[in-house]
Structure formats: C-alpha cells, structure tokens
Homo-oligomer: A and B are copies of this chain.
C-alpha cells in the first residue's frame, strides 16, 4: 500500500489522476467527501462536524486528517468536483449567445445556479473558499485557473475541453485582466449572498451582467489584442 503523505493538496489543485492511492483508499476518500457534502446540504458549513463526517464515512477521525488537511480542505475538494461538473456541462452544451456579453453573463448564470442549487451546500463551499487558511491557497489558485479558463473560452466563443490540463490554457493579457476582475466581482457577490442571503440567482446574474457590460465595453478594442 502506498505511503500517504500530507495529501489532498496538489491532488485537487492539479490534474495528476489522484496520486497513487489504492482502490480502497479512493473509496474511503470518496466516502469522506460524500459524507461532508451530505451534511453540508442539510445544515451548511457549521453542520459539517468532522466527528460526524468520520462516523458517516466509517473512518476514524485521525484517518480523515491523513486525507485532508482539515475541514475546509474537504469542502474545497468538493468545490473542485463541482467545477469539474460545470466544465463537463459547458462541454456538453456550450454557452449560447451572440455577443461576448451574452456569453459571459450566461456562463456566470450557470456557474451561480450550480452553487445556489443547494443553498446550504453552496454557502458552505463559499465559506470554505473565503475562509482564508494559508494552506488552502494552492487549492484556491487551482480553482481560480479553472474558472478563468471557462470564462475566457466563453468570452472567445470557443469550445472547452474539460480534459485538457488547465495550465496549458493561456489567456491574453487583456483576457486575464477582465477575467480576474469579473471573477472578483462574482466572488464578492457570492460572499455577500452567503452573509446576507438576500439575493437570489437572478440578482447575482444581473450583477454579473452589469459588471460584464461595463468591462467588456471598456475593453472593446483590447479584448482580442
């Protein structure tokens, strides 16, 4: 059986097919993530008590920490799996829209819908992202690249290949700038949603549409530079 190192990082963040884990270990890991997600779906971030996660997944508490660095790490892993689903969805049905603005708006609508589908879970995932532990930085950077890739392909009206390595994707300078800013707006809107819980899918989508309209208009000359 392979030696398990601190683990879980570099795993969700990069592509390597999930390190070298035996099947039984993969199953264990899956049970852990599933249990955490179930608990989050029912009661949000706070309901994900690691003792419960351990019990539900038939794993000792200590083992849990062999697979993940901590609570946020598990949820970040789930977040990344959500991203993968989103990528797959974008691949199967490309974002529609005649203009970049329409496509970008549509992309954010679909991404947001995924998160708000189960508000409890979505809020938990976002809290995990914004929790700001130094150790999760790599994970988050990885997620960011994936989101950037999706956004920019939507912007370009290109097809998205979910299986291509993320690092192979190279946006232009101006694309990167726009993407970074828009993702910032999106992220802030999501945090606002988690904290205040007022806005719904349409509100957030509208916000993103407004921001994208401003930024795409301003970049009109540079977006294909």
Contact = CB atoms under 8 A, between A and B. Distances in A.
Interface string A133-147: 110110011000000
Contacts of A184: 184-189, 211
Band of interface residues on A: 35 or more
B214 A178 contact: yes
A17 interface: no
A109 to B, nearest CB: 17
A215 B217 CA distance: 8
Nearest to A185: B184
A25 interface: no
Interface of A: 123, 126-127, 130-134, 136-137, 140-141, 177-178, 180-181, 183-189, 191, 194-197, 207, 210-211, 213-219
8 contacts: A126-B132, A136-B195, A185-B188, A187-B187, A187-B191, A214-B218, A215-B215, A217-B219
